[in-house]
Amino acid sequence: MAKRGRRTRSPAPPIARPTLEKGDSGPAVAKVQRILGLPADGDFGPVTDAGVRGFQGASGISKDGIVGLQTWGKLDALTAKMAAGSDGISDSLAAQIDVVVTNSGIESFSWPDRGRAPVGYYHGMAKVFALSMIRYRRGDPALLIMGEAETGNASKDALTWYHAEFAAEEMPNDVAGIDTLRHLFVMLIGLGMRESSGNHWEGRDTSASNTSADTAEAGLFQTSWNIRSCSSTIPPLLTEFWADPNGFRPSFDRGVSPTASNLDNFGRGQGTQYQWLAKFSPAFHALVTGVGMRRLRRHWGPINRRKVDIVGRVDDLLISVQNLVDANDESWRQPGGW
């Protein structure tokens, strides 16, 4: 009896991508929302419309709010970048950091004039600090700036400008290294509470008129793209994180959600990319801001007015994170880490 030949199957036809716009609903809308990091309720309302337009502008295509073939292509590219990339620390280390943050009691701390931070703020910033330690030890040029000793130039260096405040909390910054880097993160966390109350989706200050690509503020620290002029290490960070936008956003998302006005981006080109990425990838925004604080501290009004709180309990938390990184150095040397 002759053997039966194996039947060859024709490839399945591609699933049609529906064209979506404001007013639509359903699983395809929820998919778009998940890709953009938005609340995935399946309703193409004002927030999703603004999120799509903001992403379109950052991607260099027409900001029409319609998810058609071209926008689906950009969304697919973003999905692929996220899947191929990495936050830069191991899942194990990230989980340990979450436990340390929860057990620290810091989530109940009330900031002057701001109240409690969103629960995800500490979890996210603690992980960015862990990533920053790793990058510092590997000689990353941006992190070497962030962790350098006080420069003595109070007009440009936030650590020098805040010398007395750090001294009062027994946080000296006269030696380059992880301790000085950690103290900068104490200040970063305080700055984020002043500028955005810990909401990484924060858009520009709508009371200001700075709506060019270079001057529109964005993100936790309300830093604008013209900060790049202060250091040659900043533009490469945009290139790096645009290629891999992972930046602990799911951690930062806890307790916050965007409004439609948060998601608007202004202008064209790199400045528009920057505004979108600053909100989508909080780790990127933190590193850019950290460099800027050491080179152009006048960029931030709360720093200039000495309104940023230096909180010893935050330093205590970051010391615990520092100890975790030191105890887990094999976890951040794994393939796929930074």
Q: Both tokens of residue 236? A: 């490469």
- Give residue 270's pLDDT band: very low, low, confident or very high (50, 70, 90): very high
What are the DSSP calls for 224-274, one per residue? -GGGGGG-TTHHHHHHHHHH---SSHHHHHTT----TGGG---SSTHHHHH
Whole-structure pTM value? 0.92
Q: Is the pLDDT of residue 327 over 90?
A: yes
**Short-list 130, 237, 247, CA closest to 178:** 130
Is residue 185 within 8 Å of 192, Cβ to Cβ?
no
- Give residue 5's pLDDT band: very low, low, confident or very high (50, 70, 90): very low
pLDDT 10s digits, 135-183: 999 999 999 999 999 999 999 999 999 999 999 999 999 999 999 999 9
In Å, what is the CA distance from 186 to each residue of 45, 122, 161, 177? 37, 11, 15, 15
Q: Both tokens of residue 290? A: 């950290």
pLDDT 10s digits, 62-110: 999 999 999 999 999 999 999 999 999 999 999 999 999 999 999 999 9
98: burial class by Cβ within 10 Å (0-12, 13-18, 19+)?
Answer: middle
Q: What residues does each domain of the chain span?
A: 27-84, 91-327
Q: Which amino acid, 272?
A: T
pLDDT 10s digits, 202-250: 998 776 777 799 999 999 999 999 999 999 999 999 999 999 999 999 9
Q: Is the pLDDT of residue 336 over 90?
A: no
